Chains A and B, each alone.
Chain A
Amino acid sequence: GDSVTQMEGPVTLSEEAFLTINCTYTATGYPSLFWYVQYPGEGLQLLLKATKADDKGSNKGFEATYRKETTSFHLEKGSVQVSDSAVYFCALILTGGGNKLTFGTGTQLKVEL
């Protein structure tokens, strides 16, 4: 079945460090890919998305590129801030799959001063 695999957390970084959170997927068709973020005590919110191969999603300094050849959608940020501390979820939807998102297990990011 369709699935998303994320790197285990927590990831602990110092402020201004470079961030990479790995995400790979398995899908029977051609998915659209998403990163959602969950801040403490809140629901998830969309961070960025990419709908086809080689698309790059970006928002708030975060970027992820849809790599079909490696079935990956790694999240990156050049310089993290304490306020980026949250749990990050990679997710996919199949074309024609309705609105049913398949989520990864989430990766907790902790940014320290």
Chain B
Amino acid sequence: DAGVIQSPRHEVTEMGQEVTLRCKPISGHDYLFWYRQTMMRGLELLIYFNNNVPIDDSGMPEDRFSAKMPNASFSTLKIQPSEPRDSAVYFCASSSERLWRELFFGEGSRLTVL
């Protein structure tokens, strides 16, 4: 079975540009999470969805960040405009209540904002 698929794996952009990260969760999973990982702050939960509905977005750092889940098989995380401090690895993860909350992570999208 395919795992969580993220794209792009690497993104280098200039400050002020719009960045869109994409995630395809595992089929049948009803929870989707977006995490950010940096050396300074570790692993931070940005937002999570249940059945495509945002449940908790308290970790979204500011209005420049937005996330959507238009259907059960696709989610995006958008940063507009991007800033150098947004440079990080962004992980998408999915899970299912039936699988006792084990999170399955994608390989991450490494974002560098110059």
Q: Which residues of A contact B (CB under 8 A)?
A: 32, 36, 41-46, 49, 51, 89, 93, 98-101, 103-106
Contact = CB atoms under 8 A, between A and B. Distances in A.
Contacts of B34: none
A99 B101 contact: yes
Contacts of B100: 49, 51
Secondary structure dominating the interface of B: strand
A104 B97 CA distance: 22
A44 B105 contact: yes
Contacts of A51: 100
A44 B91 CA distance: 9
B43 interface: yes
B48 A100 contact: yes
Contacts of B25: none
A43 B43 contact: no
B107 A99 contact: no
Contacts of B48: 98-100
A104 B55 CA distance: 22
B103 interface: yes
A110 B74 CA distance: 36
A106 B103 contact: no
A46 B103 contact: yes
Contact of B102 (A46, A100, A106): A46
B21 to A, nearest CB: 14
Contacts of B95: 99
A41 B110 CA distance: 10
B37 to A, nearest CB: 9
B42 A43 contact: no
Contacts of A105: 42-43
A31 to B, nearest CB: 11
B55 A98 contact: yes
Given A101-B45, A106-B42, A45 B31 contact: no
Contacts of B107: 41-43
Contacts of A42: 107-108
A41 B91 CA distance: 12
Residue among B43, B95, B104 with the highest chain A CB neighbour number at 10 A: B43
